[in-house]
Chain A
């Protein structure tokens, strides 16, 4: 069964993932131009971009536990998932800078230093920049596999920071940010608990 799923997955070209990743952005553009963003379009644009980035970040984190637990491999798509995450994080930050803060650089700088949720968000974003610019074969070759892998393990820091960024920004306990923070904690913990593929994922010797 797993082999069947993996064979089917192998037939999906990576560009299909890129295309799927563009769908939330297309929907957002559609809503911007048709007035579907409600009374406060600035906040809606900002929040949707940020949430979509987080969902792709979680998607990228889920690839390894899924492989170890079930044997289903999405490894071929992981780089695309990660870069799509950054492709939402970048306009999320730009939406904050341009639309929300209106380019008030002084206030933005003071706010980032003073407010934990912005500091967490910026920390996560800086890591994502480093991961995104090295997400190509040339960087992998130049840095060497070991160093490249070490760098990309920083995603284990970026994800909790992004979750705290959301949690710290809200006024009362809301379900969505708590749920996604728990999912991130679970995915990271699973890496410690499940260190190698489970026995049932290995195909029986023929």
Chain B
């Protein structure tokens, strides 16, 4: 179903140069004064896909981050106002060492890994993103999860004066998400602080965000200020808004349609005008690693 791309028309080397040029240009616009100065050296991970990542320009200019507006370009336009330093993440609930942690405490530079993951949005588009981050399991180990904890709850910052999308009640702010503890401890689940070799751009969820690659993008909550360990299943924002359309698990599943659009196929961002669609894979292609987490569950009920 993936047919010829525009990239197949342009000679490959020129195409790559052009992408590099465009990415550099985008970075220059996004980070005036420090053009790709802060490069991060993260070690590669065997959990990365070998698929070609989308360009820096695509990843940073096509975002759902309703805190900065509902349009895909709104976050790139508006997120510059967000102060990400200083930043602290409050860890609370059923943990041994609750308290306020800095980003550097949770994701120290020497622990950073590159994780090139597929990303599938519930709106039926997809891209490939080279994240930089640490396994969430390492963070949870650090704070000491108590045996009674079954779920992890996450919250995004509320700061309407900098996050102009929050000036309207389009969602019930703060944005909240949650994982079952075994999902949170899975080696694929990371807290990301960068992408490509850059610190996380604001529109992508700076300074620290969740990435759960086998679930629809909305599970991967951005700009986290609170991590809470709980005994009961937390409420997540989209399920709260429309439970018939967005579940708690939100696993990528081509067999369970969103009521308003099919999940059977997806459009690949960057494939060009005539890129067509490709079939969506169960668990976004991570079934071998994660299917066992859901053994015995009816995924058309627990969607």
Instruction: Spell out A's residues near B (CB within 8 Å).
Output: 32, 38-42, 45, 98-104, 107, 110-111, 114-117, 168-169, 171-174
Contacts and interface: CB of A to CB of B under 8 A. Distances in A.
A49 to B, nearest CB: 13
A32 B273 CA distance: 9
Contacts of A101: 277
Given A99-B274, A111-B262, A172-B241, A39 B257 contact: no
B150 interface: no
Interface of B: 1, 57-58, 61-62, 66, 70, 72-73, 123, 125, 170-171, 241, 257, 259-262, 264-265, 267, 269-270, 272-277
A100 B72 contact: no
Contacts of B272: 41
Contacts of A104: 1, 265, 277
A110 B62 contact: no
Contact of A38 (B62, B241, B259, B261): B62
Nearest to A115: B260
B170 A172 contact: yes
A103 B270 CA distance: 19
Nearest to A44: B72
A83 to B, nearest CB: 26
Contacts of B270: 39
Task: Report whether over half of chain B's contact residues are helix, strand or loop; otherwise say mixed.
Answer: loop
B260 A38 contact: no
Contacts of B125: 40
Contact of B257 (A45, A114, A172): A114
A25 to B, nearest CB: 16
Contacts of B73: 38
Nearest to A32: B273
Contacts of B170: 172-173
A64 to B, nearest CB: 34
A168 B259 CA distance: 11
B1 A102 contact: yes
5 contacts: A32-B273, A39-B270, A40-B267, A117-B260, A174-B70
A115 B62 contact: no
Given A39-B270, A40-B125, A41-B273, 15 more contacts: A38-B61, A38-B73, A40-B267, A42-B273, A99-B274, A100-B267, A102-B1, A102-B265, A104-B1, A104-B265, A107-B264, A171-B70, A172-B66, A172-B70, A173-B170
A100 B259 CA distance: 18
B277 A102 contact: yes
A40 B127 CA distance: 11
A131 to B, nearest CB: 28
Contacts of A174: 70
A133 B70 CA distance: 38
**4 cross-chain pairs, A with B, having the tightest CB-CB distances, nearest first:** A102-B276, A39-B62, A102-B277, A172-B170
A116 B261 CA distance: 10
A171 B124 CA distance: 13
Contacts of A99: 273-274
A98 to B, nearest CB: 8
A114 B258 CA distance: 11
Contact of B260 (A40, A110, A168, A172): A168
Nearest to B259: A115
Nearest to A108: B262
Given A114-B257, A172-B170, A39 B61 contact: yes
Contacts of B171: 172
B230 to A, nearest CB: 26
